[in-house]
């Protein structure tokens, strides 16, 4: 494997990707075909033999005819002798591959990961320290992520939330994101497991970068039942106007990036 692929999120490979869901209690698993496995503080739901799905939704194999029977990242292989949910190779399909460069895409079971674009030629140019190479109208261009991002609800993954029901995940989010909510950013420091709507959420290991520092690779923590452990890195940028943006590139762990509140006024800066 090319070393350039071993970026931030590949260091998040702390578990295997499979067709299951994390939840607080067994009550969230499928009522008749769900297999509930007890963990410390939460459970995992999967489907029993003869069924396909993510453990919350399970369909008899004999009744399945379309991709809707399968978990995200899989398709229904209806060929004679198969009849099984098969991994989608997102890297091989331009409609599903959200990596800027196909060469940095790594396919895994049910998911895929995008490698780093740092110091890679972006349509003939190496991007400045405060820009990133992004896809724009079927081309690659250097852009300031402070003005080219997607929005993500930060209030549903606060560090003050004790996880309940079926847990959420950020493993399918790709690109630059800004949290929407009053003064929200990724939480700094340890918060503990089964928080933020997740089983073992990610937080930052240190303080956010300051205005003018450009895109900074920040160390992550995984808040596991055994304590906080190192969990790779994530690109972060402090933006004028009082907010931060973060680059998500997929994750093998079915977790979320935990959020917390801060005083956005300290970030306001005029060029």
Query: In the predicted model, what is the mean pLDDT of residues 176-182?
Result: 94
Question: Of the candidates 90, 102, 228, which has an alpha carbon nearest to the alpha carbon of residue 171?
Answer: 90
Q: Report the predicted TM-score, pTM, of the whole model to 2 decimal places.
A: 0.87
Percent of the chain with pLDDT over 90: 76
Which letter, b or e, does each residue of 121-160 get, where b requires 16 or more Cβ atoms within 10 Å of its Cβ?
ebeeeebeebbbbbeeeeebbbbbbbeebeebebeebbbe
Q: What is the number of alpha carbons within 13 Å of residue 63 lying toward its C-beta? A: 9
The whole-number pLDDT of residue 18 equals 47
The pLDDT of residue 266: 47
Which stretch of 6-20, 113-127, 135-149, 233-247 has the lowest confidence by average pLDDT? 6-20
Mean pLDDT is lowest, of 116-120, 165-169, 172-176, 177-181, for 116-120
Alpha-carbon separation of residue 113 from 161, 171, 211 (angstroms): 28, 9, 29
pLDDT at 7 over 70: no
Alpha-carbon torsion (26, 29, 33, 38), positive or negative: negative
The pLDDT of 214-239, averaged and rounded, is: 96
pLDDT bracket for residue 270 (50, 70, 90): very low
At 88-114, the pLDDT tens digits run 999 999 889 999 988 889 999 999 999
Please give the backbone phi and psi of residue 15, each rounded to the nearest 5 degrees, phi first. Answer: -160, 165
Task: Give residue-wise pLDDT tens across range 195-211.
Answer: 999 999 999 999 999 99
**Can you name the residues that pair with 161 across neighbouring β-strands?**
none
54-62 mean pLDDT: 95
Q: Give me the pLDDT at residue 264, please.
A: 53
The angle formed by the CA atoms of residues 223, 170 and 235, to the nearest 5 degrees, is 80
pLDDT for the residue 263? 67
CB 239 within 8 A of CB 245: yes
Task: Check pLDDT > 50 for residue 11.
Answer: no
Give the closest residue to 89 by CA, choosing from 192, 81, 79, 77: 77
């Amino acid at each position: 494997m090319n070393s350039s692929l071993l970026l931030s999120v590949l260091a998040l490979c702390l578990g295997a990707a499979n067709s299951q869901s994390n939840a607080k209690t067994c009550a969230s698993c499928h009522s008749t075909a769900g297999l509930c496995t007890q963990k410390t503080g939460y459970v995992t739901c999967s489907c029993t033999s003869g069924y396909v799905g993510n453990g919350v939704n399970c369909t008899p194999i004999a009744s399945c005819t379309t991709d809707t029977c399968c978990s995200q990242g899989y398709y229904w292989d209806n060929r004679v002798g198969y009849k099984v949910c098969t991994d989608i190779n997102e890297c091989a399909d331009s409609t599903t591959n959200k990596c800027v460069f196909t060469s940095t895409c790594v396919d895994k079971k049910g998911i895929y990961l995008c490698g780093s674009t740092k110091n890679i030629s972006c349509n003939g140019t190496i991007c400045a320290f405060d820009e990133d190479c992004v896809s724009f109208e079927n081309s690659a261009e250097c852009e300031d992520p402070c003005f080219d991002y997607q929005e993500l609800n930060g209030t549903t993954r606060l560090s003050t939330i004790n996880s309940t029901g079926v847990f959420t995940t950020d493993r399918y989010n790709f690109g630059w994101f800004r949290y929407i909510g009053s003064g929200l950013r990724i939480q700094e420091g340890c918060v503990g497991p089964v928080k933020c709507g997740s089983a073992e959420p990610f937080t930052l290991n240190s303080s956010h970068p300051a205005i003018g520092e450009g895109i900074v690779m920040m160390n992550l923590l995984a808040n596991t039942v055994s304590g906080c452990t190192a969990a790779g890195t994530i690109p972060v940028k402090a933006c004028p106007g009082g907010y931060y943006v973060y680059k998500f590139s997929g994750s093998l762990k079915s977790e979320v990036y935990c959020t917390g509140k801060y005083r956005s006024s300290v970030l306001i800066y005029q060029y």
